[in-house]
């Protein structure tokens, strides 16, 4: 069965091409990368070569000049095989590239888009030790020195932190005025004073690097400000709204992968003289998993379509992330159970999908924060 019947021909071809690549190249080594907590550098290079990293970047800068929906399909297809690869591409496209698209000056676009499209991975640096859901409580400072700023502070839980070379960094030029002092900067790897700290040892998406980053008098040119000084909170809010759809796509992709594995297994597993797929209880489990997956997938696609059409999508993005992350946790859990004892061991992929799914309800806005957003909009 082809699970992507609502796509047009071009979209279907894109999804199929990415999935076939992931199945042939990433699948054989995904458990090795998970065990060693390391992304194979070959894949980062090939993601650029395949065009996955510049999906919405204009053609004049070396990108594909395609749609946000196309980026969502790439993230979903990769995550169906390995969620670590999915989130690497997700953060680069939906957070970093979109921040540059919407907020960078023409000069910054001309400087960084060719790099982001062809060779240099991006990371998005908002979270801090004391700033998680309360993103505007960040303590990192940016001292205005006229033609440059000096950045000081620490960022935590930064996806792509190990491999990235271009960073979108949020700091406050005047903590006394709260969020109105937050400013977004483009920081490059190698700038004096910028260092990497601890790499987190995680439950899931273990091949995706999650890093602590330190900034000590990092000199950032004034022209590297994204948007306006003191308006960084707008950059964060609007970019994260798009990023939530990307996480929804990641969850839809990995849940489909878990469901694929479960369907194949129940057809092969024989108990009491027949395939367990012939038992009605198992059939009902598969049916419920399929229904939950399809529902979440449609929510994610709807939010992405609205974004591309220029309509408001904040409510829809929050709902998509909320439901997709809940669905992924449920589907991967039931897939693991259908594998029985085999599901609990690393010889089979069910336990990896289960571990990878948990982060969906936590990062880029917890489920609690999505509920807050939805409630505020519904209640006016």
Confidence class for position 351, pLDDT limits 50, 70, 90: very high
CATH H-level, domain 9-118: superfamily: Acyl-CoA dehydrogenase/oxidase, N-terminal domain (1.10.540.10)
pLDDT digits (tens, 9 = 90+) for 154-212: 999 999 999 999 999 999 999 999 999 999 999 999 999 999 999 999 999 999 999 99
| The pLDDT of residue 4 | 46
Mean pLDDT, rounded, of the chain: 97
pLDDT digits (tens, 9 = 90+) for 43-53: 999 999 999 99
From the candidates 261, 292, 351, 364, which is the catalytic residue?
A: 364
Q: 122-230 sits in which CATH class?
A: mainly beta
**Three-class HEC string of 235-275:** HHHHHHHHHHHHHHHHHHHHHHHHHHHHHHHHHHCEECCEE
Catalytic: 35?
no
Contacts for 57 with CB less than 8 Å, ≥ 6 apart: 63, 64, 65, 97, 101, 113, 116, 117
| The pLDDT of residue 5 | 56
Q: Give the integer Cα–Cα distance in Å for 292 and 286.
A: 10
Q: Which two tokens stand for residue 186?
A: 């483009």
pLDDT digits (tens, 9 = 90+) for 55-89: 999 999 999 999 999 999 999 999 999 999 999 99
Q: Which two tokens stand for residue 312?
A: 């408001």
Strand ranges for the chain from DSSP E: 122-125, 141-144, 148-159, 166-172, 182-188, 194-199, 210-221, 225-226, 270-271, 274-275
| The pLDDT of residue 1 | 41
CATH fold group of domain 234-379: Butyryl-CoA Dehydrogenase, subunit A; domain 3 (1.20.140)
Domain boundaries, the chain: 9-118, 122-230, 234-379
Cα–Cα nearest to 116, from 64, 194, 184: 64
Q: Give the integer Cα–Cα distance in Å for 107 and 62.
A: 16
Confidence class for position 134, pLDDT limits 50, 70, 90: confident
């Amino acid at each position: 069965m082809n699970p992507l019947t609502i796509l047009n021909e071009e979209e279907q071809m894109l999804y199929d091409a990415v999935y076939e690549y992931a199945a042939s190249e990433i699948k054989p080594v995904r458990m090795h990368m998970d065990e060693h907590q390391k992304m194979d550098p070959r894949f980062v290079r090939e993601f650029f070569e395949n065009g996955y990293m510049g999906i919405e970047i204009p053609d004049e800068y070396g990108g594909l000049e395609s749609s946000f929906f196309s980026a969502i399909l790439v993230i979903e297809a990769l995550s169906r095989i390995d969620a670590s690869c999915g989130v690497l591409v997700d953060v680069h496209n939906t957070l970093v590239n979109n921040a540059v698209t919407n907020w960078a000056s023409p000069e910054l676009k001309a400087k960084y888009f060719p790099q982001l499209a062809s060779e240099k991975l991006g990371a998005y640096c908002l979270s801090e030790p004391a700033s998680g859901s309360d993103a505007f409580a960040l303590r990192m400072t940016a001292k205005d020195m006229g033609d440059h700023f000096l950045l000081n502070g620490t960022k935590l839980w930064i996806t792509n932190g190990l491999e990235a070379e271009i960073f979108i960094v949020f700091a406050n030029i005047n903590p006394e005025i709260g969020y109105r002092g937050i400013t977004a900067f483009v920081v490059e790897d190698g700038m004096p004073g910028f260092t990497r700290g601890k790499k987190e040892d995680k439950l899931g998406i273990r091949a995706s690097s999650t890093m602590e980053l330190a900034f000590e008098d990092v000199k950032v040119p004034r022209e590297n400000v994204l948007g306006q000084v003191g308006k960084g909170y707008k950059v964060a809010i609007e970019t994260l709204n798009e990023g939530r759809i990307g996480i929804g796509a990641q969850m839809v992709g990995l849940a489909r992968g878990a469901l694929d594995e479960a369907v194949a297994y129940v057809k092969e597993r024989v108990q009491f003289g027949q395939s367990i797929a012939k038992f009605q209880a198992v059939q009902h489990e598969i049916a419920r998993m399929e229904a939950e997956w399809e529902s979440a997938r449609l929510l994610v696609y709807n939010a992405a379509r609205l974004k591309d059409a220029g309509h408001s999508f904040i409510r829809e993005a929050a709902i998509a992330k909320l439901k997709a992350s809940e669905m992924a946790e449920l589907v991967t859990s039931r897939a693991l159970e259908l594998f029985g004892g085999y599901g609990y061991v690393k010889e089979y992929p069910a336990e990896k999908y289960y571990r990878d799914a948990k982060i969906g309800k936590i990062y880029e806005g917890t489920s609690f924060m999505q509920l807050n957003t939805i409630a505020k909009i519904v209640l006016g």
